[in-house]
Structure 1
Amino acid sequence: MNKIKILEKYMPPAAAPLIARWIDYFKCEFKISRNRNTKFGDYRPPFDGKGHRISVNYDLNPYAFLVTTVHEFAHLYTWNQHKHKAKPHGTEWKQNFKKMMQPFFDQQVFPTDIKHAIISYLDNPAASSCSDLNLYRSLRKYDAPKEAVSTVEHLPMNAVFKLKDGRVFKKGEQLRKRFKCVEISTRRVYLFSPVAEVELLKETA
């Protein structure tokens, strides 16, 4: 099966031919990866005889998969231009990310709400698309429904919730952008992103 057909399974089909050309042009090893809770994708520069390597989580919805893919290719392009002289998410990367996203706007690949969220994000893109709450929320609307999964911001105060690793927490007050939550077993305090996905166990007064 050729690259385009494979990519069409994970991203909007109209975007697949250009991404396939990038893979060939940059001689990049492109891997569709298992789910990683800490990141959507990853870029590794050439090292020890290996070329450019990009991986993107397999379970992202098509729009999130494409945004993440372009994000990582912008790292690759920036590395080719500047090697280690450019900061990972500095000015050079931001400019390249904007430039590489433009063809997909021209093709009208994204729904209007996601396009507007991306444009807002591109005014000052952060290290990760999930660190921009407006863009992350827009992308999540296109996820397949998940049973028993909620986000911290939608839980009531003092709700008890569980993470994928089994740890249990109680939701507390919001401090700026994050929520102060206490791990039940250790009483240690952690700060959670509003959009962290968790499983509600019980609501408490």
Structure 2
Amino acid sequence: MDKIQILARYMPPDAAPLIGRWIDYFKCEFKISRGRSSKFGDYRPPFDGKGHRISVNYNLNPYAFLVTTVHEFAHLHTWNEHKHKAKPHGAEWKNNFKKMMQPFFEKDVFPADVKHAIVRYLNNPAASSCSDLNLYRSLRLYDNPKESIHTVEKIAVNTLFKLKDGRVFQKGEKLRKRYKCVEVATRRIYLFSPVAEVEVVSSNQ
């Protein structure tokens, strides 16, 4: 199976040929990675005899996978042009990200709601697509539903929830952009993103 066929399993099929050409053109090692809760993708510049390296989480929905892939290729393109002189998510990267998204708009690979959210995001792209709540929510609508998983903003105040590491928290009030939550075991206070994915703990657990 060639790389375009493999890529088409993870992103909108019409986008796969162009991404395949980018991999060849930039001589990039492109890896479909295990799921990582801390990031959707990663770019590493040439170092110690290795060339450009990009990894994207395998468990993203096709639209999130493509947005993340373009995000990381924009880092690669910016590094080629400016090396370490450009900030990681500065004006140079933002301009490249905008330009590199355009062919996928022309191919009409995104649903209307996701395209609208991307256009809004492109007006001032943040460091991560998941740090833009509007874009993150739009992309998440296309995830496969997970019955036990909820986002913090969708559960009621005082609800108990747990993280993958087993720690249990109680949801509190919203402070500006984040929710104040108390870890049950230590009574320490943590601030959670509205779109943080958590598992609700039922009262009889």
The TM-score with structure 2 as length reference comes to 0.98
Please list, as runs of the form range in 1=range in 2, the aligned pairs for 1:67-78 lying within 5 A after superposition: 67-78=67-78
- Distance of 1:176 and 1:58 partners within structure 2: 33
Which residue number corresponds to residue 92 of structure 2? 92
Which residue number corresponds to residue 15 of structure 1? 15
Which residue number corresponds to residue 130 of structure 2? 130
Please list, as runs of the form range in 1=range in 2, the aligned pairs for 1:19-58 lying within 5 A after superposition: 19-58=19-58
Residue deviations 1:50-76 (CA, integer Å, cap 9, x gap): 000000000000000000000000000
Q: State which drifts further: 130-139 or 180-189.
A: 180-189
How many aligned positions are there?
203
Q: Partner amino acid for 1:35? A: G
- Distance of 1:21 and 1:154 partners within structure 2: 41
How big is the shift at 1:185? 1.0
Which residue number corresponds to residue 183 of structure 1? 183
- Distance of 1:30 and 1:183 partners within structure 2: 39
Q: State which drifts further: 194-203 or 78-87.
A: 194-203
SS at match of 1:202: coil
How big is the shift at 1:151? 0.4
- Distance of 2:166 and 2:67 partners within structure 1: 30
- Distance of 2:202 and 2:187 partners within structure 1: 18
- Distance of 1:147 and 1:33 partners within structure 2: 24
Which residue number corresponds to residue 116 of structure 1? 116
- Runs of 4+ in structure 1 off by over 4 angstroms are none
SS at match of 2:201: strand
Residue deviations 1:101-125 (CA, integer Å, cap 9, x gap): 0000000010000000000000000
- Distance of 2:4 and 2:96 partners within structure 1: 23
- Distance of 2:112 and 2:50 partners within structure 1: 39
- Distance of 1:153 and 1:147 partners within structure 2: 16
Which residue number corresponds to residue 64 of structure 1? 64
- Distance of 1:111 and 1:81 partners within structure 2: 32
Q: Does residue 1:105 correspond to 2:105, yes or no? A: yes
Residue deviations 1:6-36 (CA, integer Å, cap 9, x gap): 0000000000000000000000000000010
How big is the shift at 1:202? 3.3
Which residue number corresponds to residue 147 of structure 2? 147
How big is the shift at 1:196? 0.4
How big is the shift at 1:188? 1.1
Q: Partner amino acid for 2:125? A: P
Which residue number corresponds to residue 161 of structure 2? 161
- Distance of 1:135 and 1:98 partners within structure 2: 15
Q: Partner amino acid for 2:52? A: H
- Distance of 2:56 and 2:68 partners within structure 1: 7
SS at match of 1:74: helix
- Distance of 1:165 and 1:54 partners within structure 2: 27
Identity fraction in percent: 79
